[in-house]
Amino acid sequence: MGFLSVLSFAHKLAGERLDAGGRAIDATVGTGADTLFLAKAAGPRGGVFGFDIQPAALGLAEDRLRLAREESPGALAPVTLLAQSHAAMLEAVPPDWRGTVSAVMFNLGYLPAADADKTIITETASTLAAMDAALALLRPGGIVTAVLYPGHSGGDAEAAAVEAWAASLAPQAAQSIIYRQLQRANAPYVVAVEKKGGRSSA
C-alpha cells in the first residue's frame, strides 16, 4: 500500500482540522491545488485566503477555482487571492481572523508549471516570518503544514530553518512533527505544527 505522499499527508492533517464553515489560508498558492482543497473542505459558509507573489500563479489558481465552481456550483468557500508575500498575512487578512484559522498550508519552492521561472522560490526569511504569523492566526487545535524541498538549491537551507523553527516552539504553545522518508535525504518532506489548546491537542 505504501505511505501517503507528502502532499496527501499535508491534506490529511489540514482536512482533519478544517470543518465546513471554517477558515483556512494557502500561503503559497502556486497552481491552486491546495487552495481548491481548502475551499472544498471549508465549504460555502467558510473562507479561504491565498497568497502568492507571482501573478502568473494566481492566474492559474483562478482558472482552477473557476472550473471547480462551474462543476459544483455553491460547493466552494469564497476565496480571496492576494498578490502579496505570505509574510504580510497577519495584516492582510481581516482582524477578526486572528485566533480563528483552522489550517495554514505552505508548499515551498518554485511554481510547478511547465513555463514557470524556477529562480523564483520561497525565501527563508519571509517563510519564517509567515510561519510566525500563521501561528498567531491559528485557532487552538489548528495546524500549519509545510511541504519542504531539500533537493533544490536553497531548499535545503530553507527546510533546515523551518525544521529548527518548529523544533524551537514551546511545547506548551504548539506541538511539532515531521513526516519524512529516511532513506532519501533529498525527498520532499512535511513539517507540521499544531497549536495547543484545542480539541485535538490533548
Ligand X SMILES: C[S@@+](CC[C@H](N)C(=O)[O-])C[C@H]1O[C@@H](n2cnc3c(N)ncnc32)[C@H](O)[C@@H]1O
Set of cell numbers at residue 34 = 491546495
Give the separation between CA 92 and CA 125, rounded to whole angstroms: 18
Query: Which residue is it, cell 484559522?
Result: 101
Cβ-count burial of 94 within 10 angstroms (0-12 exposed, 13-18 middle, 19+ buried)? exposed
Interacting residues with ligand X between 124 and 143 (CB under 6 A): 126
Size of residue set near ligand X by CB under 6 A: 22
Nearest distance, CB of residue 21 and ligand X, angstroms: 23
**Residue 158 near ligand X by CB under 6 A:** no
Interacting residues with ligand X between 54 and 73 (CB under 6 A): 54, 57
Task: Judge contact between 48 and 42, C-beta under 8 A.
Answer: yes
Set of cell numbers at residue 114 = 511547465
Give the separation between CA 198 and CA 202, rounded to whole angstroms: 7
Give the separation between CA 78 and CA 123, rounded to whole angstroms: 28
Quick one: which segment of 15-23, 46-54, 152-160, 169-177 binds ligand X (CB under 6 A)? 46-54
- Using DSSP, state whether 175 is helix, strand or coil: strand
**Residue 145 near ligand X by CB under 6 A:** no
Quick one: which segment of 8-16, 30-38, 170-178, 190-198 binds ligand X (CB under 6 A)? 30-38
Quick one: which segment of 84-92, 151-159, 161-169, 176-184 binds ligand X (CB under 6 A)? 84-92
Compare residues 130 and 166 and give the one whose CB is closer to ligand X: 130
Q: Using CB under 6 A as the criterion, which residues of the chain lie in contact with ligand X when the complex forms?
A: 28, 30-34, 51-54, 57, 85-87, 107, 109-112, 120, 122, 126
